[in-house]
Amino acid sequence: MAEMIDSLREAFAAQFGEGGDIRTYFAPGRVNLIGEHTDYNGGHVFPCALTIGTYAVARKREDRMLRMYSENFPNEGVITCPLDGLTYRAEDAWANYPKGVIRTAADRGYAADAGFDILYYGTIPNSSGLSSSASIEVLTGEVLRDLFGFDYDNIANAKIGQEAENSFIGVNCGIMDQFAIAMGRKDCAIFLDTATLEYEYAPIAMDGARIVIMNTNHKRGLGESKYNERRAECEQALAELQSVVSVGSLGELTEEMFEKCESAIGSEVRRRRARHAVTENARTIRAVAALRDGDLAEFGRLMNASHISLRDDYEVTGHELDTLVEAAWEVPGVIGARMTGAGFGGCAVCIVREESVDALIKAVCERYESKIGYPATCYVAEIGDGPRRI
pLDDT in tens, 264-285: 999 999 999 999 999 999 999 9
- pTM of this prediction? 0.93
Report the pLDDT value the prediction gives residue 223, as an integer from 0 to 100.
Answer: 43
pLDDT tens digits along 55-69: 999 999 999 999 999
Greatest alpha-carbon span in the chain: 67
The third-level CATH classification (topology) of the domain covering 2-33+48-186 is: Ribosomal Protein S5; domain 2 (3.30.230)
Distance of CA 23 to the CA centre of its chain: 25
Strand 116-122 and strand 65-70: the pairing is parallel
Set 92, 177, 313, 322: catalytic member: 177
Q: Is 67 exposed, middle or buried (0-12, 13-18, 19+ CB in 10 A)?
A: middle
Strand order in the sheet with 334-340: 334-340, 347-353, 209-215, 377-380
177 in active site: yes
Counting every residue, how long is the chain? 390
Where the chain has pLDDT below 50, the residues are 223
How high is the pLDDT of residue 43? 97
Contact 200, 236 (CB under 8 A): no
pLDDT of residue 221: 55
Contact 142, 25 (CB under 8 A): yes
Tell how far CA 6 is from the center of its chain. Answer: 28
Q: Which of 346, 342, 277, 339 is nearest to 304 (CA)?
A: 339
Report the pLDDT value the prediction gives residue 207, as an integer from 0 to 100.
82
Radius of gyration, alpha carbons of the chain: 21
pLDDT at 224: 53
Q: What is the DSSP string of 261-297?
A: HGGGSS-HHHHHHHHHHHHHHHHHHHHHHHHHTT-HH
The pair phi, psi for residue 363, each rounded to 5°, is -65, -45
